[in-house]
Structure 1
Amino acid sequence: MIKRTPEQRALLEQMEQIAIGLGKAFAPFCEVVVHDLLDPSHAIVAIQNNLSGRAIGQEATELGLARIADPSFPQVLASYANQFADGRQVKSTSIGIKDSGGKYVAALCLNMDLTPFRSMQQVMQQFVHIHDQSGVEESLAPSGTEAIRQHIDQFAASCATTPRALKAEERRLMMRELKGLGLLEVRRSMETVAQHLGVSRATVYKDAA
């Protein structure tokens, strides 16, 4: 019988609840596992979205044993490469849980199956691939509007936000920059700015004043 303090029991119980919440949030692509590091021979006490085929009561992994052997072992190992038994590629994150005495009590592990995402990535790469048409170039936008959009995107990125989330003060500063670059002289520039920012043309004229 493994002896646990009330604090250690409470930590394990809370980790199981956290695993349930994370499992529901990331279903069906992410397996969430709680390991009881006080009982390494029967470490797995909870498993949500079982993708690895493991079972409750199985022993601790090499990572769990490393934490048990060394309290100074890193508490968080994030987004490291892993693999299921059938060869599927996995991105894993492991979080060690210590009690107030600094002893590892549990580990919360998230294992993300990359298979469906890699398939989607390949589809998207194929979709956005542009075929060479012997140097033929065409733009469906009025001349200069792409430069306006690019500058707005760059300005928003420098503010750590998106064009549609820019604040009024930021928009006014951006409009001064566009004016200084001569981009407001481009035909239908105000309409282009309004569409890209998701605001009315009246707002754009006000910001430019």
Structure 2
Amino acid sequence: MSHKTEDQAWLVEQLQFIAQGIGKTLSPFCEVVLHDLTDSENTIMVIENNLSGRKVGDRATELGMARIESPDFPQIVANYPNQFPDGRTAKSTSIGIKDKQGNYVAALCLNIDISMIKGLQMVLNQFSTLEEGNEIIETFSSVTEDSLKKRIDEFSATYSVTPRALKPHQRRELLLCLQDEGYLSLRKAMEITAQYLGVSRATVYNDLKE
């Protein structure tokens, strides 16, 4: 039978909302359990994302009983290995909550299903794998006048010169890069490029043809 003071009852009531909120945030990978440590026979008050098969009213685990027996037991036991009844690996954290007198009133426990995380990790790794040796053949970025000029600046920087100081063969290389990377699809791209390079449009067209 639970015998809580008014302050203890208020504290446990507020912890129920915390447990529910964490459970909704970390669903479905993390089981969140709130234990009422003032009632050693029926400690589980809240269980969100039930992964262990326990139910409200069940008794505490060994950690919970240790806190009930000793207020000196560590308040936080974090990231310790655990196991669900069906054998799945879990990573658990147990947080003890004390009242003003230093007595344990409740415990908030998080049990993460590592097997679910590992499965998701495998899917993400497979999903993000690219074929080796394949070059990028398209880009989804929008070409703008600013991005065109920025690309010209970047190219010029590889030769440690300004765009207007590019030599004819460097200009031709630049134009081929701009064409391959889709920058010349921009409306008036050739005109913008010519002005930025300080040459005529005819020069730019001729450079591209050579």
Using the size of structure 1 for normalisation, the TM-score is: 0.60
Asked if residue 89 in structure 1 is aligned to residue 61 in structure 2, the reply is: no
Query: How far is the alpha carbon of 1:31 from its aligned partner?
Result: 1.0
Q: Are 1:59 and 2:59 counterparts?
A: yes
Aligned pairs for 1:169-208 (under 5 A) are 185-186=157-158
CA separation of 1:188/1:43 partners in 2, compared to 1, >3 Å: closer, same or farther? farther
Q: Secondary structure at 2:41's aligned position in 1?
A: helix
Q: Distance in 1 between matches of 2:104 and 2:110?
A: 18
In the other structure, the counterpart of 1:105 is 105
- Aligned residue for 1:71, secondary structure, equals coil
Partner SS, residue 14 of structure 1: helix
Query: Could you tell me how far apart the structure 1 residues matched to 2:16 and 2:83 are?
Result: 23
Tell me, which stretches of 5 or more residues in structure 1 are unaligned? 142-183, 191-209
For 2:14, the aligned partner's letter is: Q
Number of residue pairs aligned between Structure 1 and Structure 2: 144
The aligned counterpart of 1:50 is 50
Aligned amino acid, residue 17 of structure 1 = F
Q: Give the deviation of 1:70 after TM superposition.
A: 1.8
How far apart, in 2, do the equivalents of 1:41 and 1:188 lie?
Answer: 77
2: CA distance, partners of 1:45 / 1:70: 21
| Alpha-carbon offset, residue 188 of structure 1 | 9.6
Q: Which amino acid aligns with 2:69?
A: A
Structure 1's 92 and 60: CA in aligned 2 closer, same or farther, altered over 3 A? same
Q: CA deviation at 1:123?
A: 3.6
Aligned-pair CA distance for 1:67? 1.1
CA distance in 1: counterparts of 2:46 and 2:119, whole angstroms: 29
Identity %, equivalent residues: 51
1:19-76 CA distance string (max 9 Å, x none)? 1111111112211111011111111011111111101111111000111122121111
CA gap of 1:186–1:55, structure 2 versus 1, over 3 A, is: same
Paired amino acid for 1:43: T
- Aligned partners of 1:189 and 1:124: how far apart in 2? 43
Q: Over residues 154-198 of structure 1, what are the superposed CA-to-partner deviations in whole Å (9 max), with x where a residue is unaligned? A: xxxxxxxxxxxxxxxxxxxxxxxxxxxxxx9425999xxxxxxxx
* Root mean square deviation, CA, Å: 3.0
- Counterpart of 1:72 in structure 2 is 72
> Matched residues in 1 for 2:55 and 2:97: separation?
21
Runs of 4+ deviating beyond 3 Å: 123-131, 138-141, 187-190
Give, in whole Å, the separation in 1 of the partners of 2:95 and 2:119.
28
Contact 2:29 2:117 in 1 (8 A): no
Deviation of 1:91 after TM superposition, in Å, equals 1.3
Partners of 2:3 and 2:39 within 8 A in 1:
no
CA drift of 1:121 comes to 2.4
Question: TM-score, normalised on structure 2?
Answer: 0.60
